[in-house]
Structure 1
Amino acid sequence: MPQGPRQTAEITLMGQNFVVSCAPGEEQALHEAARYFDQAMAGIQSRGRTISVDKVAMMAGLNITHELRDETRRRKELEEKLAGLDARLQKALEKTRTS
């Protein structure tokens, strides 16, 4: 699938600079994501154990994936609750129209 024009942005992870491609207009989101990932990696590394950067990155990625799954699950539950409330509201409105 062809992609639109790409540009590059520089991010810093664990003190190392990387040049990565991103879609135009997505630079700020990329930098925010990189900062979040870098903070997650720094948190793991600060626990005192000496582990490789690869393992730190893997653990940070797993932790962030877990956070995403929890948030996705919570969002789905809220959407279902909202749909139920909407159905109740529609039913109540329908009752008032037919009364």
Structure 2
Amino acid sequence: MAEKPTTVEVKILDKDYLVACPDEARDQLLQAARHLDTKMREIRASGKVFGTERIAVMAALNITHDMLEKDTMSDSASSILNAMDEKLDTALGEGSGR
């Protein structure tokens, strides 16, 4: 029988979120939340991106990019990611800049 997930409270950019996760994954969830909070605060502090949603998207892209780089992604995957990053920079630059 599977264990019932634990509800863990995490704080990201001064907002509290309740997240269900297995008890054994609690520490990893808290570490991930701290990492995300740090990245989002860095982006917000840069003053180039406004709005929590845009900050979250940029943090997600930056974290994903870092993870893919560490996994020594293929050249084609790298070019696709770079092209997407440039398009997003352009799109966000029109409204708020990056």
TM over 0.5: yes
Alignment of 1:33-52 (within 5 A): 33-49=32-48, 51-52=50-51
Report the TM-score when normalising by structure 2.
0.68
2:72 is matched with which residue? 73
- What is the CA deviation profile of residues 45-83 of structure 1, one whole-angstrom value per residue up to 9, with x for unaligned ones? 001235110000000000000000001117xxxxxxxxx
2:58 is matched with which residue? 59
Deviation at 1:37, TM superposition (A): 0.3
Distance 1:48 1:40 in 2: 13
Moved over 2 A (4+): none
Deviation at 1:4, TM superposition (A): 4.5
Counting aligned pairs with the same residue, the percent is: 28
Deviation at 1:24, TM superposition (A): 1.5
Unaligned runs of 5+ in 2: 74-98
Aligned pair count?
72
Report the TM-score when normalising by structure 1.
0.68
Distance 1:53 1:7 in 2: 27
Deviation at 1:5, TM superposition (A): 2.3
SS at match of 2:71: helix
2:25 is matched with which residue? 26
- Name the structure, 1 or 2, with higher relative contact order (CA <8 Å, separation 6+): 2
Over the aligned positions, Cα root-mean-square deviation in angstroms equals: 1.5
